[in-house]
Chain A
Amino acid sequence: MLEPLPGSQWNKATAAHLMNRAGFGGSPTDIENLRQLGMYKAVSWFVDYQKIPDETPAPDWAQPDPAMIARREAIRNAADPETRRMLQQQENRVQFTQLADLRYWWLRRMALGPRPFQEKMTLFWHGHFATSFDKVQMPYFLWLQNETLRQNGLGNFNQLLIAASEDPAMLLYLDGARSNRNEPNENFAREVMELFTLGEGHYTEQDIQQAAKAYTGWGLSKDRLRYEYHPNNHDPGPKTIFGQTGNFTGEDVLNMICAKPECAQFISKKLWRYFAQDEPPQPIVDALAAEFRKSGMDLKHLMTVIFRSREFYSPDLIRSQIKSPVQWLIASSHQLQAPLPTEPMSLVMLRQLGQELFNPPNVKGWDGGIAWITTNNLLDRYNFAAALVEGDRVPLPGLMGQMRGLMNSMAEDGLMQIAPTDVSALFSAADLSTPYGFLDALQERFLNAELAPQRLASLTDFLKTRSPLEETDIRKAIRLIMCTPEYQLT
């Protein structure tokens, strides 16, 4: 179990698999470069990202904003409803602009930054320690949490858990900042055990209620700009949790949770599910959990074992997962060797496809798997493919209905345009010399696999009468291959 993949099985298909799962996909050249490294070095390139400098600057607004409290007070104390409405609108504009900027800042970092695996891991933790703008409200705190997850995301799980729990965004999202020693709020106490560490069935209602007391005292500073411990609001008395009694603090309880074997099981299973396979087999989970515990909950060790294991490259795992919307968008832009669409275009697409960053559906994050797909958003994927490849000939579904006004104004500013894909960069003259040669090159670039016969037949029919191939034919064929079930898999 979990033996390393033999060198003989390291090839274009397995290299592409690693590139898709540890990162966000790549062009045939990227995949070939990764293949040439060999499996060990290829995995190291992803997981030893500390060796690669990343000088991505923070967004310029990403710092405590001492004027915020005053602005919010002014809204509350406005003399009349009209003034209040105006001030609120001003404040909303600031927040929404920052939020959109944050979303695109991160998306670009995932797509173009030097450490794709660090960003993939951060995205995993964003779905795990889920928080949402709807409740947190402050983009600065969302950015701060994003940094916490980025800096701790491949370290020790116990440290990550404490850092994520005491983070202002989490304290606001799960009401820790509103809890008090007399009547503790149970929201965080429940979700940390159910969703972040142990899973249902491994704790009691009493454990939750007692732990809720231990977490009291965690809060925000008076200016509400940073975490602060309030000893006077902490219940210092004895609590009984998992059958042990003591004057536990919140950090004590998180350490006790991490020490339970179920925690290693739960995290190993979730990581395998996210990076490898929708339905993790129990023997693999057991083996991973054993490795994880042996390493003292070292996430880098666990992920290295996963990415080097023979099981990770099993043929029935390759191209078995449905791309998340983020994966779909970034991998598409890599395969098209095109820049990411503009900020409003990218954000509209992710929203319509069901993965709005910093707005997961609930504290459980995104379910993933087949839950990404509905009849409606599959049609959206097919139509967005046209926008990505053929440029702004095709209207975006998101431009219609309620969003039309906003979109029209952005269109006037030239923000809603995508240039048609430059196909000369993607295919050689030899690739384009016959329809069959072109179909092979098309499948290699966009699927690393073959289409089902029905779809191959239709594409062949589409291409066979067109010789020589015009650029528009090539773009239509690319768009069509992106409108297949196969293309949605990674």
Chain B
Amino acid sequence: MNNPLFTTRRDFLRTTILGGALCWTVPSFVAQTFTALHAQADGALTQITTGKDGPILVLIQLAGGNDGLNAVVPYTNDYYYAARPTIGIPANQVLTLSDTLGLNPAMTGFKSLFDAGNLSIVNGVGYPNPNRSHFRATEIWQTASDENQYLTDGWLGRYFDNACQGCDPTVAINIGPRAPQAFSSHTPTGITLENPDSYRFIGSGRNDDETVAYRNMYTPNPDDNVFGSNDSNSGGSVSMVSGTVTLQNGQSALDFLERTSMDAQVSSDKIRAIASKTPPSSKYPGSGLARDLQLIARLIAGGLPTRVFYVSQGGYDTHTGQRGGQDARLRELGDALKAFTDDLTGMNEFDRVMIMTFSEFGRRVHENGSQGTDHGAAAPMFLVGSKMKSGLLGEEPSLAPADLQDGDIKYNTDFRSVYASILQEWLKTNSVPILGKQFPTLPIVTV
């Protein structure tokens, strides 16, 4: 860990010094600071520890395989219309981005972000030799592996392992029912939150005997060494695919449960304190995704030391009746993003937030016989932020039959180039220890 490349680790330790005290590997320190932390878990303190300058990344997974061609439509391309006689989007309906590309008409939210200079679209993103499995493809995106390499750590998990050994569990927050594999790491990091109102141990009253006994079951007495002195328990039709999280390094299910219990206890008071002093803004649409983003906005405003938020939107596996299904999903996504970015702007927080969407694959160029599309390969990614180099990045892929691979679009930007760009330009960390090698970066950030 003395590698001079890890400049962000120092930053992390500086900015989350209190969080650092919660490192799982120093249990007695946990004990001593635990009570103090709870007493101090209010906005003033958390803001000092994080600073208002920390960059934040919000990941939105589009689960099921978002069809890129009907999202960012090549509306002058004859091959596109020949391949999609029933589900192709007529040129006069697209929301124009350039002389050749236009957005699905349902994506009005995206269009207004684009016009405001806050949206960048990376074309043709993928990786070599994709095999069209939801689950393998999701795993590859979540772990940033090569196509023939099997990793259990998530790419963000490796970022946290490198950048903040033993940081506050709220440094990574997943909103939704299942923890994403992207957060899996040697030293597990991050919490999962669905409803802040119920994110607590409910006793019969404040500091009642039951609550005290519950806390004492987990908060070690500094005189006891109950967690052991070694590090053995450290770290320790598709609507949703989050990748498979598995135990690591000989950790047992019991170790995992102990750590999760501890993280739940440590984080619950902070989350609730922040949620209660930051009421939700009312200007969001009614979708589940919008509700999740609304909660993220509240947590950002409340000053949690969170670097990465993760949220998932399902329903993109459009084998049948694609126009109805995908258009509705894209509308929901765009409208939610618009409300979220407006909310962040109003709170003066948009400048430190970047949003990235990804999906396990795009879909086959040629539609199938059920007004849908089967699993495919490369597709565009969306990056949203006020500090973005807005516009179109990456090469627009060719749809000429000779240029396709088994009916699929060939990628021309490796998805890890996008990850590397975000890690280096936005999170200001060295991407090599996280991604295994240096991928070419794209100019995504203006400053």
Measured between beta carbons, the chain A residues less than 8 angstroms from B48 are none
A186 contacts B by Cβ under 8 Å: yes
Contact of B253 among A179, A322, A452 (CB under 8 A): A322
Q: How far is the CB of A51 from chain B (nearest CB, A)?
A: 35
Inter-chain CA distance A374–B369, complex, in Å, is 41
Assess whether A382 is in contact with B320, with CB atoms less than 8 Å apart: no
Inter-chain CA distance A180–B239, complex, in Å, is 24
Contact of A395 among B178, B201, B202, B406 (CB under 8 A): B202
Q: Which of A360-411 contact B (CB under 8 A)?
A: 361-364, 367, 369-371, 373-380, 382-383, 386, 393-395, 397-398, 400-402
Assess whether A386 is in contact with B247, with CB atoms less than 8 Å apart: no
Type the 1/0 row for B336-377, where 1 means its CB is closer than 8 Å to any CB of A.
000000000000000000000000000000001110101100
A174 contacts B by Cβ under 8 Å: yes
Known pairs A364-B241, A400-B198; A377 contacts B177 (CB<8 A): yes
Assess whether A378 is in contact with B369, with CB atoms less than 8 Å apart: no
Q: Which of B112-166 contact A (CB under 8 A)?
A: 131-136
CB within 8 Å: A-B pair count = 209
Assess whether B239 is in contact with A361, with CB atoms less than 8 Å apart: yes
Size bracket, chain A contacts: 35 or more
Q: Is the interface of A mostly helix, strand, loop or mixed?
A: helix
Type the 1/0 row for A413-453, where 1 means its CB is closer than 8 Å to any CB of B.
00000000000000000000000000000000000000011
Assess whether B254 is in contact with A485, with CB atoms less than 8 Å apart: yes
Number of residues in B with C-beta < 8 Å to the partner? 69
Residue in B closest to A368 when the chains form the complex, CB atoms: B244
Measured between beta carbons, the chain B residues less than 8 angstroms from A395 are 202
Q: Which of B356-410 contact A (CB under 8 A)?
A: 368-370, 372, 374-375, 406
Inter-chain CA distance A374–B183, complex, in Å, is 12
A480 contacts B by Cβ under 8 Å: yes
Q: How far is the CB of B409 from chain A (nearest CB, A)?
A: 15
Residue in A closest to B367 when the chains form the complex, CB atoms: A183
Assess whether A369 is in contact with B178, with CB atoms less than 8 Å apart: no
Type the 1/0 row for A472-490, where 1 means its CB is closer than 8 Å to any CB of B.
0000100110011110110
A461 contacts B by Cβ under 8 Å: yes
Inter-chain CA distance A290–B120, complex, in Å, is 55
Q: How far is the CB of B117 from chain A (nearest CB, A)?
A: 35
Assess whether A185 is in contact with B320, with CB atoms less than 8 Å apart: yes
Known pairs A361-B240, A374-B178; A483 contacts B214 (CB<8 A): yes
Contact of A383 among B202, B239, B247, B320 (CB under 8 A): B202
Residue picked from B174, B210, B238, most chain A C-beta under 10 Å: B210
Measured between beta carbons, the chain A residues less than 8 angstroms from B179 are 371, 374
Q: How far is the CB of A372 from chain B (nearest CB, A)?
A: 9
Measured between beta carbons, the chain A residues less than 8 angstroms from B372 are 175, 178, 185
A134 contacts B by Cβ under 8 Å: yes
Residue picked from A278, A361, A364, A374, most chain B C-beta under 10 Å: A374
- A residues sitting closer than 8 Å to B (CB atoms) are 132, 134-135, 173-175, 178-180, 182-187, 190, 194-195, 200, 205, 278-279, 320-322, 352, 354, 361-364, 367, 369-371, 373-380, 382-383, 386, 393-395, 397-398, 400-402, 452-455, 457-459, 461-462, 476, 479-480, 483-486, 488-489
User: Told that A200-B136, A383-B198 touch, could you supply 11 new A-B pairs with CB distance under 8 A?
Assistant: A132-B237, A180-B370, A184-B368, A185-B372, A187-B319, A373-B257, A376-B198, A382-B214, A400-B197, A454-B218, A485-B257
The 3 closest A-B pairs by CB, nearest first: A397-B198, A183-B369, A374-B192
Subset of 11 A-B contacts with CB under 8 Å: A178-B370, A180-B369, A354-B177, A362-B237, A367-B178, A370-B256, A374-B192, A379-B200, A398-B198, A455-B218, A458-B216
